[in-house]
Amino acid sequence: MISMTGFAARRGAFGDHAWVWDLRSVNGKGLDLRLRLPDGIDGLEAAIRGTLQRTVARGNVTLMLKLLRDDRPGEAGFRLNQVQLAAALAALAGVEAAATTAGLSLRPVSAAEVLGLRGVQADTAKDPDPDALRQAILSDFALLVADFAASRAAEGAALAGVLAAQVAVITNLTARAAQEAASRAAPQAEALQDGVARLLAANGALDATRLAQELALLAVRTDVTEELDRLAAHIDAARLHLADPHPVGRKLDFLMQEFMREANTLCSKAQSIALTRIGLDLKTVIDQMREQVQNVE
């Protein structure tokens, strides 16, 4: 089982570039991809979107890639242009000599001012080949997706354990409901016989055929055999879904509606306090299970 909740983050570098990934997802009815990627790298978004669509079936997925220059120590992007530096210093010396001849006094020139002269510094940082940069980013993205999938799988395993425990509770409550339904049969039959005897004593002309029809209708209205059978079938279906390696979130969501329908009908037909309480307990655990199912892919 896979959860729609997951998170992964990575850092990578290639040449003079570094990047930071942030990939996370939460539950959703379908697949919604929201990508924040740097401009200027052709084909990157299409490749990333395709990979995510093949990896994730459902969920609201947000991906951020921040691309920046690598600022690791010892990898400065500038060096001195010795030829231009010598020319600049010679020019400054000539200016100072001319000023002295003219009787002018110039303030000393700082090293920072010299470095700021055009051509003194040479930019050695070169943009890598775009195709090579894209391939390096996508290779790192594959590792990010693997971490992301592992995160969702771990969440899914924990979720499967919770759902399995809830199915076990539903199984136990269904068995108790069956026992309670069987135990109420004798008292109901006695109460029904007493009621019929009183009616016959009060009105000897009571239509026996109509009475039989009403009794049959009453029996149908209070019989919970079908509801219990359907609950048992739903339990079997839930266990099969929990063992299915494919995405089953939608199937489980639909199954929760069927579970709740049977629990509601059971409560309406209960005709006993004990069976009503069991029905309410069933509705509670089914609702709790439905909330958990919302996170299943």
> Across the chain, where does the E strand assignment appear?
6-14, 17-26, 31-36, 59-69, 78-80, 121-123
| Same domain flag for 109 and 158 | no
**What is the rounded CA–CA span in Å between residue 108 and residue 128?**
41
105 falls within a domain: yes
Tell whether the model's pLDDT for residue 75 goes beyond 50: no
Q: What are phi and psi of 105, to 5 degrees?
A: -115, 120
Tally of domains in the chain: 3
Question: In this structure, is residue 1 part of a structural domain?
Answer: no
Q: Is residue 103 part of a domain?
A: yes
Q: Are residues 239 and 216 in the same domain?
A: yes
pLDDT in tens, 210-249: 656 555 555 556 688 899 999 999 999 999 999 998 999 9
Q: For residue 22, tell me if it sits in a domain.
A: yes
Domain that holds residue 54: 6-72+129-151
And the tokens for 13?
């570098």
- Model confidence at 95: pLDDT above 90: no
Domain co-membership, 280 together with 191: yes
In DSSP terms, 296 is beta-bridged to 3
Which H or E element spans position 40? Answer: none
Alpha carbons 164 and 169: distance in angstroms, whole number: 9
**Spacing of C-alpha 110 from chain mean position:** 58
179 shares a domain with 146: no
Joined together, the tokens standing for residue 85 give 């530096």
pLDDT band at 73 (very low <50, low <70, confident <90, very high): very low
Tokens of 96: 């100072």
Query: Residue 167's pLDDT is what?
Result: 97
pLDDT in tens, 258-296: 999 999 999 988 878 899 999 999 999 999 999 999 999
CB 144 within 8 A of CB 105: no
Contact 6, 161 (CB under 8 A): no
Quote the pLDDT of residue 82: 80
Question: What b-and-e string marks burial along 128-143, b requiring 16 or more CB atoms within 10 Å of the CB?
Answer: eeeeebbebbeebbee
